Amino acid sequence: MKALGQHVIAELYECDPEMINNHELVETIMLEAADVSGATVVNSTFHQFNPYGVSGCVVISESHFTIHTWPEYGYAAIDVFTCGDLIDNNKALLYMKEKFAAKSISVVEMKRGLLNLPVEQIRVKPVGA
């Protein structure tokens, strides 16, 4: 069965706390990761929490990249959900791991939208979209 999308759940450990608590830097790195993966960015929104932490979403034509950070633990939770076969999620994850100075990463991947249809009937986007 062909899936509509792929959902990657990544956990970055022992990140640089100052980096993952910097709203502008986190947004820049997430936008760059989307670009590195080959995704088409539509929009982004990020929020700085008080006293620390950042959450944000990069909406891409192919779905989204999200992040939630806990600088006090050096931890970042990242979701990359993409549709189609053109986006390189691994490139994006390696880029984020490097840029957030994470010492380790844990990744779980799952297929989304497993439909019981012939492969030729499954389209990632509606015709004309």
Positions annotated as catalytic residues are: 63, 68, 83
Nearest to 48 by CA among 73, 29, 31, 67: 67
Nearest to 96 by CA among 6, 35, 27, 30: 30
Question: What is the Cα–Cα distance from 26 to 16, expressed in whole angstroms?
Answer: 11
Which tokens go with 88? 């390189």
